[in-house]
Structures are given as structure tokens and as C-alpha cells.
Structure 1
Amino acid sequence: MIKKCVILLFIQISLQCSTPTFYNNIIRVNTGTEMFISGCMSPETLNFDGNIKEIAISDENIFDLNEGAVQNISANEFAIYFHHTTIEIIRRDAFLNLPGLVRVDMGRNKIRRIFENSFKDLPSLKLVGLYDNEIVDFWPRSFNNLPMLEEVVLSGNYLDSFDQAWFHKTPKLRKIYLGGNIMCDIPTLAFVNLPSVEFLDFHANQIEYVDKDAFKGLVNLETLLLNDNNLKSLEFNLPSPSKLTLVNIDHNNLTYISDDMLERIRPTIKRFEMNGNPWTCACYDKLRSWGQNATITFKAVEAGKANVTCINPKTNPNECIQRGDDDFEHEFWTPFLNKNLIRKERLEECHV
């Protein structure tokens, strides 16, 4: 009878770990204890006595996180870290039956794809970090039924778009980091099904266009970072009432902003950062005047030994109006160019 139970238990574990993930890899538990692991990570393979707070793997050859790669660990409030590994794919149900898992940090690996239900049914999970990988896309519902998820860090990848379908049943999602990708635009209704979001970071993409209704439905949005992109215009609607308090549009290609846009953000804005844009002098003066009721940062951009804060167009220099590129002398744009080599390379990828 005992022999039969052992066999059944072995069969159950084998079914959940039908495709091994680990092959004699070194893991570290609670920043101290090191051990070798093969197959899947579970109480049986960990064989660790004590309260698990942290499991970490770094600088190891691990190609895919397969189904049940990490499973059945009952520790309370523990975190998993995978750094500098060769992981390329996270498959569905890679994290299985982990009721106390609060954090998954998988930054600086080789991850390219995230399958549907890769992060699913993890009732305590609050943060997922997938920054500085090579991710090109997520399957729909990659993040599924995560009732406590608050923060997702997707910075430093190769995402050319954002799709809210990646998230399903994530009612507490507050922060999404998308900086350092290769996105060209933010389309209409991009976040309409994610009303809990308070913080959006799009810095250092290649964004040239933001649809007027891109942020429709974001009734809790407080912070919007669009700095270091290629925006030539900024015109988007906000929910009423709005909670937006901080907008950063530093280092874009903005020469003009409409009165309507300023009036939309005026009621709640506390900080509006706009340094390093080639504002026309008429618009620059208008912004300074408007900023008397908001905290706006201005910083002169160095051009050789001279400080340049604005430029004069060829026609009607005293008017703050939207203009075409041919209304400016090329040399006046030069001080404002702030695109590094990496961003130029990504721009080529973005338009392929």
C-alpha cells in the first residue's frame, strides 16, 4: 500500500514537471544556502528546512521556463529572482500553485516571448519585473487572474506596441513601465480596460503620435512620462474629473502646444516638465505665463557656449501656432537634438 502511494505521488509530480526546466543549476535560498537543482523547482527538489523568503538564480544556462518550472511552494510572502540567465521563453503555467509568491524579478535575461497564462492564478503576486530582456511580444492573457498585481516593469525590451489584452483580471494594477522600447505611437483606447492604472512610463521610445483618446478610461492616472521620444504635437483628452498631476515631455520635438491642451491639464497638474524641446519663443513665453499656476521646469539647453531656450520661426515669429518643419532654419534645431546611437538604431527597427 505504501509502495503504491509513493508511486502515485511520483506520477503526480512527474505529470506536473513533464518537461524539465533545470539541469544541475545552482540556486540560492534566502541569500545564503546554495544547492543544485534539476527538473522543476518544488519542495521535493529544494529540500530546504526553514522559512523561504527568497529564491535566486543568476548566471546560469536555462533556456525555457516550462510548465510547472516553479511549483507547489507554500512559503508565505516570498520572492523569485532570475538574473543574467539564458532564459528565452516563459511558457504557460510556469509558476504553478504558489499562493505566497509576491514578487517575480526576471530582469536582464534573454527572454523573447511570454506565453498565455505564464503568470496565472497567483493570488499574492504584486510585482513582475521583465526589464532589460529581448521581449518582442506577449500573448493575450499573459498576466491572468492576478488579484493583487500592482506593478509590471517591461522597460528595455523590443516592444513595438502595447496591448491591454496582455492583462486579464488584474483589478489592482497601478504602474506600468514601458520605457526604452521601440514604440512609435499610442493608439486610441489603449488602456480603456485598465482603469486602475495610476502611473505610465513611455520614456525613451520612438513615439511620434499619441491618439486623442489614447488614455480614455484612465480615471486614476496621476503620472505620465513621455520624455525622450519624437513627439511633434501633444493633444489628448483626459477623463473628467482628472487626477493627472505630473507630465514629463522633456526632449521631444515639440515647438507648440495648444491652449486647449493646457486648459485640460490645468485643474490638477502640479509638475509639467518640458525641457529640451525646440519651442518657438512665442510658445515658450506662453508656457511661462501659463505656468504661474503650476510647477513647470525650464532648463536652458547648451549649444556650444551659448544657452538656447527657444527658436524663432521664419514667419510670424510673435505667434504661438503649429508649424511645419520648413518654417525653421536647420541650424536652430541642432542644439535640441538629444538622440543617442542606441535610439537611432531602434528607430530603424521601429519603422521596418
Structure 2
Amino acid sequence: MRGVAALALLLVNVHLGRPCEKVEQVLFCLKIPSYFDPGCSSLLMVLKNIGEVNSTVFQSDNLASIISLIINNANITRIAEKGFGSFPQLTSLSLAGNMLSQVNTSWFRNPAVLRELNVADNRIAEVTESTLKGLSNLTKLRLNKNRIKAIRPSSFRSQSALAEVDLSENRLTWVPPQIFTSLGSLRSIRLDGNPWNCSCVHRDFVASVKGW
């Protein structure tokens, strides 16, 4: 109820010319403001047709306390280097339902701080080691509902803390079984909704999937 009330208040304030509303430690925004209220731990942005997020969109010292950032369904096509550079303590990022074709650790000032990343329902076609390099403390990763056809064997080499992975509803027909061997903390992996090739040629992969 508190969240519903906050959003209702936000809508009223936007009509009055205020782009954001602060409720306790959560900042709700329907527009990108020229000034961000300080002292918040979470930032939820309800935006449309953003396009590129350049390095100045979130340029504010008042964002240093933010640990959770949500910008879903905003038609983001690209994020520039240091696009999230004003979030040095960011541990959770959700960019679901956008138009991103890649994940890039150059977005962040401190990529190793991030624990949860949700880039579901974007346009990512491939996962390689460089995709996640630097996100060494990631524990939850959502890549479902993308266009992923290939995952390289070394893709998760740096993610020893990764516990939950969602790769469902992509375009995978096969993945190298060895990609999971470095994930000693892995508890859950979703692979459903892919057009798997279960022929004898890929029996090693089928066996590895059954093991999960």
C-alpha cells in the first residue's frame, strides 16, 4: 500500500511540475530531474523512450548513497561509459524490458560492488567473458527473454559468487558443459524455453543439464 500511495503522490507532483517524489529512502521519478534529493538508498525511474544514457544523465554527488537502481521498460538502447558512474555503492541494477544489445562493465565506477543484475527482455545475442568481466561479486543474474544464441566457455570465469542464473526463453540450442564448472556457489539455473538440440552429438551437454 505504501508503494501505491507513493506512486499516486508522484503522479500528482509531476503534474505540479515536480519530476520526483521521495518516500522515506526511496526516490520515485517520472522524469529525469535536474536535481536529485540526497540521502536515498533506492532510485526507481518510470521513463519512456530514453534512447542513450550518456555520462551526464546521472551526474550528481547526491546519488552516491544509492544501492538499488531500477529503470525498466524505458526503451534504453545504449549506455555510455561511466553512465552509472555516480553510483559507487550500487549493488542491485534492473534494466529489464529495454533495447540493450550488450552488458558492459564500463558503465560502472565500481563494477565489483554489484550483486544483482537484471537485463531480462533486452536484445542481447551473445555472452562472453568480457560481458561480465569485473562483476566479480555478482550473485544473481537474469538474462532471460533475450536473443542469446551463444555462450562462450569462459563466460562465467570471474563469477565464483554467482548463485542464481536465468537463461530461460533465449535461442540457445547448446552450451559448453564446462561453463558451469567454475560456479561453485551456483544454486539455481533456469534453461527452459530454449530450442535445445538434444541429439547424440550433444550428449555431454544433455548430461550436464540433467545434473542441474
What's the TM-score once normalised by structure 2's chain length? Answer: 0.78
Identical-residue share of aligned pairs (%): 19
Residues 219, 147 of structure 1: alpha-carbon distance in 2 compared, 3 angstrom cutoff: same
**Inter-partner Cα distance in structure 2 for 1:256 and 1:287:** 7
The residue aligned with 2:42 is: 127
Q: Deviations over 1:165-198 (max 9, x none)?
A: 1233533211100110011223475557322110
- Pair 1:103 & 2:22 matched: no
Residue 244 of structure 1 aligns with an amino acid whose one-letter code is L
Residues 286, 211 of structure 1: alpha-carbon distance in 2 compared, 3 angstrom cutoff: closer
- Is the 2:85–2:109 Cα contact (8 Å) retained in structure 1? no
**Inter-partner Cα distance in structure 2 for 1:187 and 1:61:** 32
The residue aligned with 1:263 is: 181
Which one of the candidate residues 146, 149, 154 is aligned to 2:66? 149
Which one of the candidate residues 130, 134, 158 is aligned to 1:239? 158
Residue 233 of structure 1 aligns with an amino acid whose one-letter code is A
- Is the 1:188–1:211 Cα contact (8 Å) retained in structure 2? no
**Inter-partner Cα distance in structure 1 for 2:27 and 2:100:** 25
Residue 146 of structure 2 aligns with an amino acid whose one-letter code is N
Displacement of 1:61: 6.4
Q: Deviations over 1:244-265 (max 9, x none)?
A: 0111011111011113322233
Matches within 5 A, 1:1-352: 56-58=9-11, 62=15, 80=22, 102-106=25-29, 109=30, 111=31, 114=32, 118-119=35-36, 122=38, 124-131=39-46, 133-141=48-56, 142-145=58-61, 146-163=63-80, 165-187=82-104, 189=106, 191=108, 193-235=110-152, 236-239=155-158, 242-265=160-183, 267-282=184-199, 286-291=204-209, 294=212
Provide structure 1 residue ranges, at least 5 long, that are not aligned to the other structure.
1-30, 32-52, 71-78, 82-100, 295-352
- Is the 2:156–2:180 Cα contact (8 Å) retained in structure 1? no
Q: Deviations over 1:246-288 (max 9, x none)?
A: 11011111011113322233x2211110001111104875445
Residues 178, 284 of structure 1: alpha-carbon distance in 2 compared, 3 angstrom cutoff: farther
- Is the 1:186–1:211 Cα contact (8 Å) retained in structure 2? no
Residues 189, 168 of structure 1: alpha-carbon distance in 2 compared, 3 angstrom cutoff: closer
What's the TM-score once normalised by structure 1's chain length? Answer: 0.50
The residue aligned with 1:10 is: none
- SS of the residue corresponding to residue 57 of structure 1 reads helix
CA RMSD of aligned residues (A): 3.2
Bigger relative contact order (CA 8 A; separation at least 6): 2
Provide structure 2 residue ranges, at least 5 long, that are not aligned to the other structure.
none
Displacement of 1:213: 1.2
Residues 177, 289 of structure 1: alpha-carbon distance in 2 compared, 3 angstrom cutoff: same
- SS of the residue corresponding to residue 247 of structure 1 reads strand
Q: Deviations over 1:204-226 (max 9, x none)?
A: 11111334212111121001101
Residue 258 of structure 1 aligns with an amino acid whose one-letter code is P
- Is the 1:186–1:209 Cα contact (8 Å) retained in structure 2? no
- SS of the residue corresponding to residue 290 of structure 1 reads helix
- Is the 1:187–1:210 Cα contact (8 Å) retained in structure 2? no
- Is the 1:144–1:167 Cα contact (8 Å) retained in structure 2? no
**Inter-partner Cα distance in structure 1 for 2:178 and 2:36:** 41
Residue 149 of structure 2 aligns with an amino acid whose one-letter code is K
